[in-house]
Amino acid sequence: MGSVLIIGKPNSGKSLLFNRLTGIRQKVANFPGVTVEVRVGESDGEAYADYPGVYSFNAMTRDEEVAIEEFRSALKSEDVSVVLCMIDATRLERSLVIGLQAQVAAKEAGKPIVFALNMMDELRSSKAEIDVAAIEKELGAPCAAISARTEEGLPELKILLKKVKTTPKDYISNQVTESVFEKAKDINSKFGPKAGLILKNQTQLDRFFLSSVFGGISFFFIMTIMFQSIFTWATPLMDLVEESIGWLATFTTGSMADGTFKSFLNDALFGGFGSFLVFVPQIFVLTFIIGLLEDSGYLARAALICHRPLSWFGLSGRSFVPLLSGHACSIPAMFAARTIESPRRRLLTYLAIPLMACSARLPVYSLLVAALIPSVSILGGLVGLQGFVFFLLYFFGIFVALILSAILSKTLYKTKTDSPFIIELPPYRPPHWKPLLLKSLYNSKMFITKAGGIIFAVTVVVWVLGYFPNGDGELGSSYLAQLGQFIEPLFAPLGLDWRYGVAVLMSFLAREVFVGTLGTIFGIENAEENFVGLVDSLNASGFTLASGVALLVFYAIALQCASTLAMMKKELGNWKAPIAVFFSYGILAYVLGWVSYVFVNSLN
Amino acid sequence: MKLWELQKDQAAYISGFIESVPKIYFNRLNELGFQIGVEVVCQRQSPFGGPKVYQIGDDVFSMAKDVASCVTVEIGE
Ligand SMILES: Nc1nc2c(ncn2[C@@H]2O[C@H](COP(=O)(O)OP(=O)(O)OP(=O)(O)O)[C@@H](O)[C@H]2O)c(=O)[nH]1
Ligand SMILES: [Mg+2]
């Protein structure tokens, strides 16, 4: 049977409904313009397609145009049997504008249309009502009152869709109108919710979150809490993982005779791969907090607050959400950047995203911070010093990105033509706990499986090169050391010996590899001991503060991520730009790393 | 007067658009419901000339100066 096209206004709940119907995990967030590509899914032999939301068939950006074109041509296809138009019942008039236009298009193509009046739960909780039967009559098309969140009305909607699919001819609207704006207004004023009820809550909260004084303070406060908690909340969990790995290592290898196999288990598996697993809780906490913000509706407010300051640097308030998601991973961040209407600002945002402290940098940062910075409290016990340095690292990435963007927008991309900054402010919503937890778990799992394979392979290679030809403990005369001598001159200016050089070079495969490689190398070196935490090994190796700062600066800037480069190529259409970015960020990272090394050294 | 000049908590009716309004602005404003005769309320202003917040019907939008300066409004019917 043919598929169902789900369309409608941005932020009306299309993707949530799609997920409910298909069991797929399409991204849902309380922000207009989350879905940027058509996604098709199937369940029980029924196919559904989730479209990016639009306010009308008048496309403004290239991506909107693509989505609308796709929708129109899908309508002509034999495979499509029904259009399901999502109506946000709390934003009835706006939803009906695109709904009525879709009705016209569906009729022209000879396809039936069904309306889903979503957010019934929200309508109820703000004590507002709509007249579903009257709206159905006005529209001349079947309507189902649903809540994609509470799942009320979904069984009925499925039955309705089946019925329409069996006799589609009976459901082709003949009540279409060309004056959609008038009709949308008319239906809303006659049968929609009473004015003022819906927005009461939102207006009150905005009075605080967007106030001239508290708006800025609360923005800063929320961001600080967010970055701090990645460090502080995750620490107990990380300690737990580290202890478990140590326990497992002792348990399995404790009674084993010394030898190649024991060294492999201890150094490559537990020391190398295990050191990387320690950081998974941070990914979990990070996803969880960004998810909280996405659910809440605050992101649109943050975009507003940041618009002015960001535009001083050539960016826009629209860049805020991509830059924030860049702290988890650049790939979804670049997808999010597609909603930036202005091509110039979009390009600058693409260049800024890889400088955000993404989750792959987290293991590197945490390891170095834990090794370099004493675990003490500052500001009268209010803030941990380590957490504070972490915050500075995040800030440093943002700072470099803004400076670069300002320079580029003043020199390379001077064109003045720009698109408007208009953004809908969605209602504030309580978080959706269960999907949020599931998503955070899923992301942690993805973090392990995606980087895990490559890290495991690298640790095995490093272990083999480090263990042979001499066997245990003789790292200094191993193959790895011989190779290491070659690259040492490159890292000597940063005060780093070949062991760190190898780890840095390996991390061009993926940043997290740095931790696994060091774990393996120090594992081989400390052969006598059983499992030792990597932080202790680092401290014992004569690692200096200056070198540590140099490494932190290097990792904050260098673009060591193949997927980001590939995505950049896809978005910009050529390899030239990503290659240029790769080399310029690499050189900048090295030079600034060296400058910080010299600077910190001069302080002692 | 321009929509941008509307003060916080002031209401007005949209009377038109300036002549030089870029088509892309006009289309977006139109589809979001900024049409002649519609009542609009300025809900919030931000410091440093940042975007303002406007309400029309049950919709709330945040809009930067360059866009809000393209819409003309009149206070009172
Ligand atoms: N209370 C409530 N919230 C809902 C309902 N349906 C969706 N939401 C919330 O509305 C927000 C937007 O949902 P999405 O599914 O991302 O909306 P969309 O239509 O796909 O949005 P775009 O992809 O931006 O066009 C999310 O915060 C959802 O949790 C509902 O029935 N009730
Ligand atoms: Mg969506």
Secondary structure of A164-193 in the HEC alphabet? HHHCHHHHCCCCCCCCHHHHHHHHHHHHCC
DSSP B17-66: E-TT--HHHHHHHHHTT--TT-EEEEEE--GGG--EEEEETTEEEEE-HH
Chain A residue with minimum CA distance to B63 = A422
Chain B residues with beta carbon closer than 8 angstroms to that of A211 = 44
CA distance A88 to A270: 52
Chain A residues with beta carbon closer than 8 angstroms to that of B29 = 420, 422
Name the residue ranges covered by the structural domains of chain A.
3-194
Choice from A5, A6, A9, A15 to test ligand 1 binding pocket (greatest atom count within 8 A of CB) = A15
Per-residue pLDDT at A328: 82
Number of H helices, E strands in chain A: 27, 9
- Decide: A425 and B60 in contact? Cβ < 8 Å: yes
Reduced to 3 states (helix: H, G, I; strand: E, B; else coil), residue A317 is helix
CA distances from A542 to A96, A128, A275, A546 (A): 68, 68, 20, 11
Measure B77 CA to nearest chain A CA, in Å: 19
Tell if the CB–CB gap between B32 and A55 is shorter than 8 Å. yes
Strand partners, B63: A422, B52
Q: Whose CA is nearest to atom 24 of ligand 1?
A: A33
Q: Dihedral of the CA atoms A57, A58, A64, A65 (nearest 10)?
A: 100
Residue B7 sits in which domain range? 3-74
Q: Whose CA is nearest to atom 10 of ligand 1?
A: A13
Please name the residues in contact with A125: beta carbons below 8 A apart, sequence gap of 6 or more. Answer: none
Choice from A28, A91, A121, A428 to test ligand 1 binding pocket (greatest atom count within 8 A of CB) = A28
R_g of chain B, CA atoms, integer Å: 11
Chain A residue with minimum CA distance to B28 = A60
Strand partners, B53: B44, B62
Q: Which CATH number fits domain A3-194: 3.90.950.20, 3.30.70.1450, 3.40.50.300, 3.40.309.10?
A: 3.40.50.300
Reduced to 3 states (helix: H, G, I; strand: E, B; else coil), residue A151 is coil
Determine whether A268 is exposed, middle or buried from the number of CB atoms within 10 Å of its CB (0-12, 13-18, 19+): buried
Tell if the CB–CB gap between B61 and A212 is shorter than 8 Å. no
- Give the β-pairing of B59-63 and B52-56: antiparallel
Per-residue pLDDT at B23: 85
Strand order in the sheet with B59-63: A422-424, B59-63, B52-56, B39-44, B11-17, B71-74
Strand partners, A464: none
CA distance A202 to A200: 6
Q: What is the pTM of this model?
A: 0.87
CA distance A90 to A97: 14
* Beta carbons within 10 angstroms of residue B20's beta carbon: 6
Element (H, E) at A449: helix A433-467
Instruction: Compute mean pLDDT per 10 residues along chain A, 604 residues long, and list them.
Output: 88 95 91 90 89 86 81 88 94 94 91 95 91 93 95 94 87 80 91 84 89 89 83 83 86 79 80 79 86 91 92 90 88 86 87 91 88 80 79 92 92 67 92 89 84 80 79 72 86 89 84 83 66 72 88 94 87 89 95 94 84
CA distance A87 to A199: 17
CA distances from A406 to A313, A327, A356, A549 (A): 4, 20, 16, 25
* Average pLDDT value for residue range B29-34: 91
Chain A residue with minimum CA distance to B24 = A60
Return the ligand 1 atom nearest residue A8 CA.
19
Measure A391 CA to nearest chain B CA, in Å: 26
Measure B35 CA to nearest chain A CA, in Å: 9
CA distance A225 to A394: 13
Return the ligand 1 atom nearest residue A36 CA.
23
Chain B 19-38, residues with CB within 8 Å of chain A CB atoms: 24-25, 27-33, 35
CA distance B29 to B70: 10
CA distances from A26 to A36, A164, A444 (A): 11, 26, 17
Contact with chain A for residue B43, Cβ under 8 A: yes
Strand partners, B61: A424, B54
CA distance A62 to B29: 18
Q: Which two tokens stand for residue A136?
A: 């159905």
* Beta carbons within 10 angstroms of residue A13's beta carbon: 26
Measure B63 CA to nearest chain A CA, in Å: 5
- Least CB-CB distance to A422: which of B32, B43, B58? B32
Nearest to A532 by CA among A548, A547, A518: A518
- Least CB-CB distance to A97: which of B31, B44, B46? B31
- Give the β-pairing of B59-63 and A143-145: unpaired
Contact with chain A for residue B59, Cβ under 8 A: yes
CA distance A494 to A543: 11
CA distance A4 to A564: 33
Reduced to 3 states (helix: H, G, I; strand: E, B; else coil), residue A561 is coil
Tally of structural domains, chain B: 1
What is the pLDDT confidence band of residue B16, given thresholds at 50, 70 and 90? Answer: very high
Give the CATH number, domain containing residue B69: 2.30.30.90
CA distance A555 to A586: 9
Q: Which two tokens stand for residue A106?
A: 């569906």
Return the ligand 1 atom nearest residue A30 CA.
27
Contact with chain A for residue B39, Cβ under 8 A: no
Residue with tokens 């740095």: A514
**Total length of chain A:** 604
Residues in contact with ligand 1 by the CB-under-6-Å rule are A 10-16, 28-30, 32-35, 52-53, 118-119, 121-122, 147-149, 295, 429, 432
Angle at A99 between CA A97 and CA A103, to 5 degrees: 120
Measure B61 CA to nearest chain A CA, in Å: 4
Chain A interface residues facing chain B, Cβ-Cβ under 8 Å?
55-56, 58, 60, 90-94, 97, 181, 188, 192-193, 195, 198-199, 202-203, 206-207, 210-212, 215-216, 300, 303-305, 307-309, 317, 418-425
CA distance B77 to B72: 14
Contact with chain A for residue B45, Cβ under 8 A: yes
Q: Which two tokens stand for residue A54?
A: 């639009």
- The ipTM (two decimal places) reads 0.94
- Decide: A516 and A276 in contact? Cβ < 8 Å: yes
Q: Whose CA is nearest to atom 13 of ligand 1?
A: A13
Nearest to B11 by CA among B36, B30, B38: B38
* Beta carbons within 10 angstroms of residue A311's beta carbon: 19
- Give the β-pairing of A46-50 and A3-8: parallel
Nearest to A281 by CA among A229, A322, A333, A326: A229
Please name the residues in contact with A28: beta carbons below 8 A apart, sequence gap of 6 or more. Answer: A15, A16, A19, A34, A435
One-letter identity of residue A243: E
Q: Dihedral of the CA atoms A204, A210, A211, A217 (nearest 10)?
A: 120
Please name the residues in contact with A66: beta carbons below 8 A apart, sequence gap of 6 or more. Answer: none
Q: Which two tokens stand for residue A113?
A: 């249309």
Tell if the CB–CB gap between B46 and A308 is shorter than 8 Å. yes
* Average pLDDT value for residue range B30-57: 90
C-alpha A55 to ligand 1 mean position (Å): 15
Per-residue DSSP letter, A354? G
